[in-house]
Amino acid sequence: MIEKRLVLVLGDQLDINSSLLIGFDPSTSEVLMVESQHESDYVWSHKAKIAFFLSAMRHFAEELRRRDIPLTYIKESNLSIEQAIRLQIQEKCITHLVCVEPGEWRLKKALEALASDLNVKLIVHEDTHFYCTINEFQQWAADKKELRLEYFYRYMRKKHHILIDQASQPEGGAWNYDDQNRRAYSKNGPGLINDPLKFEPDDITREVFDFVEQQYPSHPGSLEQFSWPVTRGQALMALDHFVNHRLESFGTYQDAMWKETPFGWHSLLSAALNLKLLNPREVIEQVLDVYQHGSVTLATVEGFIRQILGWREFVRGVYYLDMPNMKKANHYDHQQPLPKWYWTGQTQMNCMKDAVGQTLKYGYAHHIQRLMITGNFALLAEVLPEEVSDWYLGIYVDAIEWVELPNVIGMALFANGGRFTSKPYVASGAYVKRMSNYCDRCQYKPELRYGDQACPMTTLYWNFLIKHQETFNQNPRTRLMTANLSKIALEDQKLIQVHAKSILDRIDFV
Ligand SMILES: Cc1cc2nc3c(=O)[nH]c(=O)nc-3n(C[C@H](O)[C@H](O)[C@H](O)COP(=O)(O)OP(=O)(O)OC[C@H]3O[C@@H](n4cnc5c(N)ncnc54)[C@H](O)[C@@H]3O)c2cc1C
Ligand code: SF4
């Protein structure tokens, strides 16, 4: 039989230097790209997320055409991706289906089943956009009683010789400078923050906007502020701009929040990284280069590299280790629906209004907003984890399941019972007040635990501690929280519980 290869380029695999294209033989191979509407709307997605993927795919297809690579590009298809591939395989008598490891367990399994059903050989290339392969992570994890980022991160630093000195010790003597990276902005505000680089939508992107507005008119979010990099060239410009103009204060204000300050000093590089317009190696190399020239501090550079070499690699490893069970994890058996205002931002809670509002405007919120505002509240409000993770998967432009799910299930909700975190990340309004100015003009008061003006975050926080005080007491990392709880009189604890119930009963109206 004549060998005929169908090379599948998925929407999150837009790497022009991909191993799929090295030694590509047009006489036996052709590329397939599919815009599947099912992929765009199987969770209720932000318009900007749909537009970002489609625009980046169409620009990538242009690049393939410029290079004379034979391409079948299926536009605006209402077939699922599996159905579209099946038809191509059958029509073209394909013998080999070739792709890079998909970023979703569901798709990986679907391709395996399809290849087996149609009796074609499935060739899956390693994804070179990670330092750690899936197998390597599984080997690293095999003999560990607990999976902890810190040890994995040290392993990666040593293995790749990143911020390691001549004596094979961590640069500066410590592995982690987190304690220098948690400052709030001054009481007068963040001052002048250099803006991130923005990209004007071109004709391709505008055509995508028209399609999205027509096809998905009732989907959440807006396209008005869309300025994401949609090509590799733009992604490289965004990286260059970040390291030269915004990295300097990234570390110091990594956890800080301020009303109507959607980006802080963050990089906004996750979307380009996740679609493989950028490789993490070039990001880290460029950051190290700036550090070596003395223009940024070690604490900032270490803090930034930990996110990419540490967290990004770690969550991917855990995702493939724990799927499919991770998706259903519900350690606390929480069953509440997601409050409706997660889709509109229409709540009286200033912190939530701001975090959700900017999410709808840009398809972006930074890490602390995702973890300590929207994530923290969803945990305290006992929302069903699957509803929470569907929201995160749909609403952020950078959301792909391998990175979204472990962050939601593991970090924000503790729904996998502490598989890779030592405690639930819960906080009251006091934390929000310390790290932002959200509470200044809020109708609620962060210090009040019950009563009409009590901050819902605070009430639900204490309610959560009351419910789980036994397990919190057993954990040295959370014992201090329950020690504080024991200082609250029992009558007050009862009033907190009554008020918490009234909040949960009218959660759509807080
Ligand atoms: C509940 C929750 C959901 C999240 N969902 C996603 C998601 O769908 N997609 C996504 O890419 N990130 C997700 N994150 C991680 C993080 O919030 C985003 O990567 C970050 O906010 C993206 O903005 P940035 O590029 O400006 O990041 P920066 O703050 O500038 O960080 C630099 C880079 O480090 C990486 N990074 C930082 N933190 C993490 C992390 N916890 N896990 C993995 N990579 C990290 C990202 O690639 C990011 O671009 C989530 C975090 C939480 C708590
Ligand atoms: S008072 Fe509570 S609800 Fe209001 S902004 Fe502060 S933390 Fe959020």
The tens digit of pLDDT for each residue in 189-206 reads: 999 999 999 999 999 999
pLDDT at 488: 96
pLDDT at 50: 97
Whether 375 lines ligand 1, by a CB cut-off of 6 Å, is: yes
Return the structure tokens found at 222. 């807006």
Phi, psi of 71 (to 5 degrees): -140, 135
Give 134-196+246-322's CATH code, choosing from 1.25.40.80, 3.20.20.70, 1.20.120.790, 1.10.1200.10: 1.25.40.80
Whether 181 lines ligand 1, by a CB cut-off of 6 Å, is: no
Give 5-125's CATH code, choosing from 3.40.50.150, 2.30.42.10, 3.40.50.620, 1.10.150.110: 3.40.50.620
CA of 228 from ligand 2 middle (Å) equals 30
Provide the CATH topology of domain 340-509.
DNA Cyclobutane Dipyrimidine Photolyase, subunit A; domain 3 (1.10.579)
User: Which residue has the least CA distance to atom 48 on ligand 1?
Assistant: 270
Nearest ligand 1 atom to the CA of 270 is: 49
Whether 269 lines ligand 1, by a CB cut-off of 6 Å, is: yes
Whether 12 lines ligand 1, by a CB cut-off of 6 Å, is: no
Q: How far is CA 292 from CA 121, 295, 487, in A?
A: 47, 8, 50
Q: Whole-model pTM?
A: 0.97
Whether 276 lines ligand 1, by a CB cut-off of 6 Å, is: no
Nearest ligand 1 atom to the CA of 393 is: 8
- The best mutation among 257, 359, 367 to test binding of ligand 1, ranked by most ligand atoms within 8 Å of the C-beta, falls on 367
Q: Is pLDDT above 90 for 14?
A: yes
Q: Is pLDDT above 90 for 145?
A: no
Give the mean pLDDT of the chain: 95
pLDDT band, very low/low/confident/very high, at 181 (cuts 50, 70, 90): confident
Which residues, judged by CB distance below 6 Å to any ligand atom, belong to the binding site of ligand 2? 349-351, 429, 432-433, 438-439, 442, 444, 446, 455-457
Average pLDDT over residues 302-316: 97
**Residue 31, strand partner residues:** 7, 71
Task: Please report, rounded to a whole number, the percentage of residues in the chain having pLDDT higher than 70.
Answer: 100
Q: How far is CA 193 from CA 144, 208, 246, 247, in A?
A: 42, 31, 8, 11
Provide the angle, in degrees to the nearest 10, between the axes of the packed helices 134-142 and 313-322: 80
Whether 307 lines ligand 1, by a CB cut-off of 6 Å, is: yes
> Burial letters for 418-454: b for 16+ Cβ neighbours within 10 Å, e otherwise?
bbbbeebebbbbebbbebbbbbeebebbbeebbeeeb
Whether 5 lines ligand 1, by a CB cut-off of 6 Å, is: no
pLDDT at 320: 96
Domain boundaries, the chain: 5-125, 134-196+246-322, 340-509
CA of 71 from ligand 1 middle (Å) equals 32
